[in-house]
Structure 1
């Protein structure tokens, strides 16, 4: 079977996919955040930056500028067949000891500084997105310790032109925050529903600290997606979508193959608890008490009405589940510029996953759904894709072997990559 490079030239007139990566990352070079902070924080920023030690190797090498070098980024994305992106944070915002939004902040002063740091990132991100009009949907950062402050930042970033919505932090055990199912967060859900702001819950921000031992790091890798999945059943059983029917939830970089089984499980518990909630003569009744009043549909029905998955580099073994997940719910992503992302082999990743999938279905998963959720203009992006997007014929060529120097788990043997 020929490699894609051998067929691209012969299929130049074939239709091209408009590829939107629903999972990319960016951030400012550390010192560049200073100008986005109020002057009253400059002295504190200088002191913080002077002693900060970056824990992330990918932010120290000669490829670090992929996070903020707009021209390089556009060129590399286009070479990879991608014409637009949803931009999550990557670099460290001012006054944080690490990238984690849940890093402990024991005092009000700490929280005030971290809010200032996140607002600086959001301001920088609005400018960064404006450098490529219509091609970047920036995801704003918030904290959950002060819901009123979060609501103000949602409104401000929406007005500033960020169209990617917000990144919802997790509430892992030990955070001291109310759980996500709590009515405490209703003002946040309300403003997001009112303004059409997607609520994005990205993997990695909901896990509790486990330590730095080899076993702890392995356990983190096993558990981190599960802790991120929790937002789904918290919001469903918390009645959030019933109270806020305009709310959209996107679960990003958490895989997608888990969704059908989890929805089956949630439907089972929903039916079981709603049925017993009306019967005082059962020991289980106390678990279902009041649940029927907060849920007007089954969890599966809520999923299909309100939820999406930023499936990132969708694994081949997940693709046969696409109809159960919902063809209109899946959004592919390259995870650029992370080492685990598919760049510069995104075309190979698309072939590995979608070679035998009908082109109309591929078009929805690699761009159409993301355009709808994040407000991209498909017509404008199609004009860019006409010169750099992968052709339908190219992606239909099965992948015979992964690129030898690829670092993405999309090509790892354990990811069930199909080899023909």
Structure 2
């Protein structure tokens, strides 16, 4: 679909129009300063003078992929990608580490961090404007002040950040109400009214575990689970029932887990709702009181009406589940410029995942669904894809062996039914 939901022109007959639903960008540290309110300049100078960046990829020669618009367009286009959904990557002003956290700082720190996120959002609006129609920027918010978050949502919509907002996690110890709380209803209402997606990205909801090898291993085991929690919190919390236009996108969390989790959520929904209608005062009946009225339809139905998945570097073992997940729910992503992303081997990654899949199904997953969800204009993108997009014949050819220096999990052993 083209922008506004109208049918766009057909994609090139021999090529795919590829939109990455998961890319990352951000300004170089000092380049955020002009986007800060003047009152924060002195504090920013002091913070920036002592800040030590903990991320190797933001110190490497390739770090400018985050903010060098011309380099980014050239590399993505060479990789077969014509448009991108842009999540944050670099550290915004006044944050101690990751931009994806939802901190509960002091009043002064809270004001500074909001200023830092607003600076990032305003930089992002300019960055997206530098490539009209090819970037859907995702604005950052904090949940500590819902009214402030709603104001930023309205600003983001007016500024043309068509990627919507990034929903922070509420990990244990954050001091924030859980996502199922009605505290956030004004935020859900604003997003539904403005028709902008609520994106929840992996890694943003895990509690701090430490730096020991065991902690890192536990983080890897648990991080996607903590990110998945947003789905059942919003469903059981009734957010979609009260705000039918609300749209949730779960990004870089895999997709193979979705059918099983939906089965599990339907199971608990059925047990609790059924028990609450019986005359017998069982423990489950007490748990289910009011649930049917407050949350509406079963979880699987809500998934298919309100939710989508940003299936970053979709792996071959996930693809056979596409109809159970919902073919119209899946949006492939490259995760550029991260090491786990498919660049510069996106074509090989698409071959590994989608060889043997019907052309119209591949077209939906690698671009059509993202165009619909994020409002990309396919008239524009199809014309670029006619020269830069991977060919249908190319992607249909199975990948026999992954590139030797490829780092994306799509090429990992166990990610494919094929033995590499």
**2:294 counterpart residue number:** 294
**Aligned runs of 1:51-70 on 2, under 5 Å?**
51-70=50-69
1:377 paired residue number:
377
2:223 corresponds to 1:224: yes
Q: Find the aligned partners of 1:189 and 1:165 in 2 and give their Cα distance.
A: 12
CA distance in 1, matches of 2:417, 2:57: 26
Partner of 2:142: 143
SS in 2 for 1:256: coil
2:367 and 2:27 mapped to 1: Cα distance? 26
What whole-Å deviation, never above 9, does each CA across 1:41-98 have from its counterpart, x for those lacking one?
0000000000000010000010000000000000000000000000000000000000
1:159 paired residue number? 158
Asked whether the 8 Å contact 1:26–1:88 carries over to 2, the reply is yes
- Using the alignment, how far apart are the partners of 2:405 and 2:103 within structure 1? 38
Between the aligned partners of 1:266 and 1:409, the Cα distance in structure 2 is 28
SS at match of 1:46: helix
Contact 1:14 1:393 in 2 (8 A): no
Correspondences of 1:33-182 after superposition (within 5 Å): 33-102=32-101, 104-182=103-181
Pair 1:319 & 2:297 matched: no
CA RMSD, aligned part only?
A: 1.1
Residue 251 (str. 1) matches residue 250 (str. 2): yes
The alignment partner of 2:401 has SS state of coil
Question: Quick one: distance in 1 between partners of 2:27 and 2:281?
Answer: 60
Distance in 1, matches of 2:46 and 2:100, equals 21
Q: Give the Cα–Cα distance (whole angstroms) in 2 for the partners of residues 285 and 310 of structure 1.
A: 36
Preserved contact between residue 399 and residue 419 of structure 1 (Cα < 8 Å) = no
Matched, 1:412 2:412: yes
* 1:371/1:104 CA distance change after superposition, 3 Å: closer
Mean Cα deviation higher: 216-225 or 22-31: 216-225
Q: Secondary structure at 1:63's aligned position in 2? A: helix
Q: Deviations over 1:231-288 (max 9, x none)?
A: 0000000011000000100000000000000000000001100011123521211110
* TM-score, structure 1 normalization: 0.96
Normalising by structure 2, we get a TM-score of 0.96
Moved more, 271-280 or 218-227: 271-280
For residues 344-387 of structure 1, what are the alpha-carbon distances to aligned partners after superposition, in whole Å with 9 as ceiling and x for unaligned? 00000000000010000000000000000000011210000000
Counterpart mapping for 1:261-300 below 5 A: 261-279=260-278, 280-300=280-300
The reply on whether 1:360 has 2:360 as its aligned counterpart is yes
Alignment match, 1:204: 203
Where does 1:17-28 land on structure 2 (aligned, <5 Å)?
Answer: 17-28=16-27
CA distance in 2, matches of 1:101, 1:416: 30
Change (3 A) 1:269 1:331: same
Q: Is 1:410–1:417's contact at 8 Å kept on the other side of the alignment?
A: no
Matches of 1:101 and 1:116, distance apart in 2: 15
Contact conserved, 1:102 with 1:175, CA < 8 A, in 2? no
Aligned length: 408
> Does the Cα contact within 8 Å between 1:196 and 1:247 map onto a contact in 2?
yes
* Higher deviation after alignment, 362-371 or 269-278: 269-278
CA contact (8 A) 2:100 2:203 kept: no
CA deviation string 1:283-337 (max 9, x = no partner): 2111101101112211110000000000011110000000000000000000000
Unmatched segments (≥5 aa) in structure 2: 1-11
Q: CA deviation at 1:412?
A: 1.0
SS state at 2:309 partner: strand
Name the residue aligned to 1:8.
none
Q: Could you tell me how far 1:104 is from its partner in structure 2?
A: 4.2
**Distance in 1 separating the partners of 2:328 and 2:353:** 17
SS at match of 2:269: helix
